[in-house]
Amino acid sequence: MRKYFGTDGVRGVANVELTPELAFKLGKSAGYVLTKQMSEQTSRPTFVVGKDTRISGPMLEAALISGLTSSGVNVIQLGIVPTPAVAYITKQLANGGVMISASHNPYQDNGIKFFNQDGYKLSDTVELEIEYYLENLNEVPTYSGGELGTILPYNNAANFYVEFLKNSISTDLRGLNIVVDCANGAASTVAPTLLESLGANVHILSSSPDGVNINVDCGSTHPEQLQKKVVEVKADLGLAFDGDADRLIAVDENGNVVDGDQILYICAKALRSKGMLTNQTVVSTVMSNFGFQKALNELGVNSVQTNVGDRYVLEEMINKGYTLGGEQSGHIIFLNLNTTGDGILSALQLASIVKESSMTVTELLSGFKKYPQQLVNVKVKDKKAWENHPSIRNAISEAEITLSGNGRVLVRASGTENLVRVMVEADNSDLVNKLVTSIANEIKKS
């Protein structure tokens, strides 16, 4: 059972739960664990460290780097960069990588996530080992003198990522009118200038970070400004990132939100038409829309579903050799290009499809009918008890009979809270509301 690591690194309120002291210990223990295999090599291990725009970033960065260098690790500071930039640059240049970010969370929160030398997030086993040394720092060797790590100057390291992004598409974006919302986060340093360098006419929103405005009424979790601006300037599409730019939510030419399922569908269709969709399969989670599954089926594309969380999507992709997967929330993984969800990479893929096809986003989505979906969270004392409760199972069965294969019911326990989540999808919103209410009420009553 992990004590510090959650599904996406170590997170908490900065200076309250995620303190500089904890960041130092994390750096020291992770530096030791991730470089133990290099003990017989003469070269000193090197880590890259990036951060988003939160006010707490420099504080945690200083403490983390102190921990890493005290473990004999050299550090390249990337400054403010997207999370996928850290993953990519780690794979190219380093023995490990660290990103300081809490993604789409409010600015008061922050997080620390690690990447191994191949650019992948750490396995549960490695995280548990780091936690062991975190609480037993006396077992980490003490380095001194010339054994200590230091900060290496490498001013152009982030350019590796920018050049990689430019080369990820085979066309320029001339003629496209795009609105981009950087969430006052890490995308601000990359996305606008990159899109402009590729020839797009770019309108920029929320690209003036001040340390406390990251994700505030903007970005992928609040696309309202973007929707309005797309209509106002008659843009071809809008692109919204979250604080660390590892997810993308788009907006079509009419101002409608295009979520991760819809972006995946457009990309799957384009890759399939070029014979480039590996194993004719897309990986998504159990939260993907029922309409997404139907649309893929009509394309002749297989759909594999995993538990909620991009780490589970990635695991399935690696294990089975799939190259396209993602989440409804906008984490899209192109495994043949990068090792993690990458919002800016996804934006370029989407924009290039619009350019090459000479079609609108609405036209590209013509085969996708999004089903009405409703999610209700029911607070419970025992989040596992519903699984074997007869009246609840009966309510679920009755709902599934009513849907007759033209919709679905998903009931699952929250991974972090005492909640049972009830989700129903169907082609009729009134029916969805009726069925989700019926099941939720049965759980409350029981």
Token pair recorded at residue 133 = 């040394």
Q: Are 116 and 34 in contact (CB under 8 A)?
A: yes
Catalytic one of 56, 71, 103, 346:
103
Tell me the residue type at 252.
D
CATH of domain 168-364: 3.40.120.10
| CB-based contact 427:441 (threshold 8 Å) | no
Tell me the two tokens of residue 268: 């799957």
Using an 8 Å Cβ cutoff, are 285 and 308 in contact? yes
Give the confidence band of 37 by pLDDT, cuts at 50, 70, 90: low
Give exposure, 108-144, as e/b (b: 16+ Cβ within 10 Å).
Answer: ebbbbbbbbbebbbbeeebbbbbbebbeeeeebeebe
Tens digit of each residue's pLDDT (9 = 90 or more) over 108-152: 999 999 999 999 999 889 999 999 999 999 999 999 999 999 999
pLDDT tops 70 at residue 228: yes
DSSP-assigned letters across all residues of 100-120: E--TTS-TTEEEEEEE-TTSP
- pTM of this prediction? 0.91
Kindly indicate the confidence band of residue 153, based on its pLDDT and cuts at 50, 70 and 90: confident
Contacts of 25 (CB under 8 A, 6+ apart): 67, 134, 137
Torsions phi, psi of 180, nearest 5?
Answer: -125, 130
In CATH terms, the superfamily for domain 10-158 is Alpha-D-Glucose-1,6-Bisphosphate, subunit A, domain 3 (3.40.120.10)
Q: What CATH number is given for 373-445 in this structure?
A: 3.30.310.50
Per-residue pLDDT band at 206 (split at 50, 70, 90): very high
- Confidence label for 78 from pLDDT (cuts 50, 70 and 90): very high
Max mean pLDDT range (205-214, 368-377, 410-419): 205-214
Mean pLDDT taken over the chain: 94
Does residue 42 surpass a pLDDT of 70?
no
303 has catalytic annotation: no
Q: Sorting pLDDT into bands at 50, 70 and 90, what band is 405? A: confident
Residue 94: the pLDDT is 93
Whether residue 227 contacts residue 252, with contact meaning beta carbons closer than 8 Å, is answered with no
Q: What is the pLDDT of residue 189?
A: 92
pLDDT 10s digits, 314-349: 999 999 999 999 999 999 999 999 999 999 999 999
Confidence band, pLDDT 50/70/90 cuts, at residue 230: very high
Beta bridge partners of 241: 248
Residues of the chain with CATH 3.40.120.10: 10-158, 168-364
Q: Reply yes or no on whether the pLDDT at 384 is more than 90.
A: no
Instruction: Check if the beta carbon of residue 53 is closer than 8 Å to that of residue 80.
Output: yes
Return the C-alpha torsion angle 155, 104, 380, 1, nearest 10. -10
- Give mean pLDDT, residues 389-418: 87
Split at pLDDT 50, 70, 90, the class of 8 is confident
Residue matched to tokens 């991974």: 415
- Give dist(CA 399, CA 406) in Å, integer: 11
H-only helix segments in 198-342:
224-232, 260-273, 290-299, 310-320
* Rounded average pLDDT over 273-283: 96
The candidate with the shortest Cα–Cα distance to 60, out of 113, 116, 96, is 113
Q: Give start and end residues of each alpha helix (H) in 331-407.
A: 343-357, 361-364, 390-403
The string of pLDDT tens digits covering residues 254-276 is 999 999 999 999 999 999 999 99
pLDDT of residue 40: 54
